């Protein structure tokens, strides 16, 4: 469906819904650590390191982290959004984004009872380690109003050769959203720009990135864009409909306090890695200092243990371990809960009390 007009929806500001600052800061640091550990295209990759101590101890120039900070800022926001949109604070943003995307495909009154968000794209070890994306039965939403079942034979645009393959979509995207009402399952992917998000509003961006243009149906941006649809975006979080690129874009103003705190977390981790600790004395928030102390405590331990420890603080809507897996019985698709991780399937999490109301 072609988007014929510009729209800007003002969303709640995060500072009004933060109830636990330890959870808030843990999510930032957890995402930055995942970036350092799993992102393939960093100038200084994780390599064979086991801990932050080993990573820091590699034979590198003294300010190596500063030299790749811009890349970290861009990619870490992908990992931030994977977690944030599943938290109590982020659920409203997730709900509104799904509502608008589904509406463009004339899908209304779809009650989301199960969901998950995955970091995808060949630039991440997390995506490359997974072999089970195609095992989930779902309908994918693609640009130009296309609805496709994986490996189905459908009429695709001339720029997309052959039958639809889900892996092609995931290879060239940043985030993979899956939602279900327990009977039907829908998937769609988006692009994240953590440095120059204003690019997502320009047709030239997708002309340069044709694969993303063929697959991504939404964007998430950190930008210094001032206005959209005659609405001021400065210091705000908004959901914007762009007729130029025919997509919805969840926009975080660079002057919004959430982005300032995100930048501060990266700066603080850089200081830890480079051995500068004086800044910690100026942090008054006890929840924040608690998380930094945990990072210091786990400095010599396996980074997977540190990430797991921080994730335990994050206020996810659905508790960790609340997995649901797809099964097909007598031709009917259902989801069953399981306390165990099943390595050959994609888990969804309960989101039962969220209902998508397209009329709001």
pLDDT tens for 302-326 read 999 999 999 999 999 987 668 899 9
| pLDDT recorded at residue 356 | 43
Dihedral angle, C-alpha 98, 117, 148, 211, nearest 10 °: 100
pLDDT value at 359 more than 60: no
Beta pairing class for 237-242 and 247-253: antiparallel
pLDDT at 199: 97
- Measured CA to CA, the distance from residue 274 to residue 164 in angstroms comes to 47
**Integer CA distances (angstroms), 59 to 49, 55, 64, 241, 285, in order:** 12, 9, 10, 47, 35
CB neighbour list of residue 90: distance below 8 Å, 6 or more residues apart: 84
* Over residues 113-142, mean pLDDT: 86
Task: Give the pLDDT band of residue 191 (cuts 50, 70, 90).
Answer: very high
Mean pLDDT, to the nearest integer, of 12-32? 89
Q: How far apart are CA 213 and CA 19, in angstroms?
A: 38
Lowest mean pLDDT among 113-127, 136-150, 155-169, 335-349: 155-169
Indicate yes or no: pTM above 0.85: yes
Task: Tell me: pLDDT of 214 over 70.
Answer: yes
Collapsing DSSP states into helix, strand and coil, what is residue 324? strand
Give the percent of the chain with pLDDT over 90. Answer: 69
pLDDT of residue 351: 85
Structure confidence at residue 358 as a pLDDT band (50, 70, 90): very low
| pLDDT band of 332, cuts 50, 70, 90 | confident
Give the count of alpha carbons within 13 A of 251, CB side only.
Answer: 33
> Mind listing the pLDDT tens digit for each residue in 35-77?
999 999 999 999 999 999 999 987 677 789 999 999 999 999 9
Note the pLDDT of residue 176.
Answer: 96
Q: What is the pLDDT of residues 269-289, one digit of tens each?
A: 999 998 887 777 789 999 999
- Whole-number pLDDT of residue 224: 95
Q: Six-digit token pair at 179?
A: 């939602």
Are 185 and 179 within 8 A, CB to CB? Answer: yes
The CA-based dihedral angle spanning residues 304, 308, 314, 320, taken in that order and rounded to the nearest 10 degrees: 130
Mean pLDDT, the chain, integer? 89
């Amino acid at each position: 469906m072609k988007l014929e007009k510009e729209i800007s929806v003002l969303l709640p500001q995060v500072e009004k819904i933060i109830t636990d600052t330890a959870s808030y800061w843990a999510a930032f640091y957890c995402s930055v650590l995942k970036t350092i550990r799993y992102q393939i295209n960093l100038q200084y990759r994780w390599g064979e390191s086991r801990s932050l101590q080993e990573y820091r101890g590699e034979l590198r120039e003294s300010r190596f982290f500063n030299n790749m900070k811009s890349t970290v800022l861009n990619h870490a926001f992908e990992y931030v959004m994977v977690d944030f949109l599943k938290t109590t604070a982020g659920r409203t943003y997730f709900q509104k984004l799904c509502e608008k995307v589904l509406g463009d495909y004339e899908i209304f009154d779809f009650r989301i009872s199960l969901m998950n968000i995955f970091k995808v794209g060949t630039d991440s070890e997390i995506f490359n380690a997974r072999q089970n994306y195609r095992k989930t039965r779902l309908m994918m939403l693609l640009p130009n109003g296309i609805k496709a079942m994986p490996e189905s034979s459908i009429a695709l645009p001339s720029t997309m050769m052959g039958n639809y393959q889900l892996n092609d979509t995931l290879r060239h995207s940043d985030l993979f959203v899956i939602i279900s009402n327990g009977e039907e399952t829908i998937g769609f992917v988006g692009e994240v720009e953590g440095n120059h998000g204003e690019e997502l509003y320009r047709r030239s961006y997708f002309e340069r990135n044709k694969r993303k243009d063929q697959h991504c149906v939404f964007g998430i941006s950190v930008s210094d864009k001032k206005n959209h649809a005659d609405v001021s975006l400065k210091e705000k979080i908004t959901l914007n409909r762009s007729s130029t690129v025919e997509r919805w874009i969840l926009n975080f103003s660079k002057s919004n306090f959430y982005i300032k705190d995100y930048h501060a977390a990266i700066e603080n981790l850089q200081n830890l890695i480079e051995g500068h600790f004086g800044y910690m004395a100026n942090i008054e928030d006890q929840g924040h200092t608690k998380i930094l102390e945990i990072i210091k405590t786990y400095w010599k331990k396996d980074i997977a243990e540190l990430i797991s420890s921080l994730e335990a603080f994050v206020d996810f809507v659905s508790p960790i371990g609340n997995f649901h897996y797809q099964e097909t019985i007598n031709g009917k698709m259902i989801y069953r809960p399981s306390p165990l991780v099943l390595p050959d399937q994609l888990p969804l999490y309960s989101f039962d009390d969220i209902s998508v109301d397209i009329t709001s």
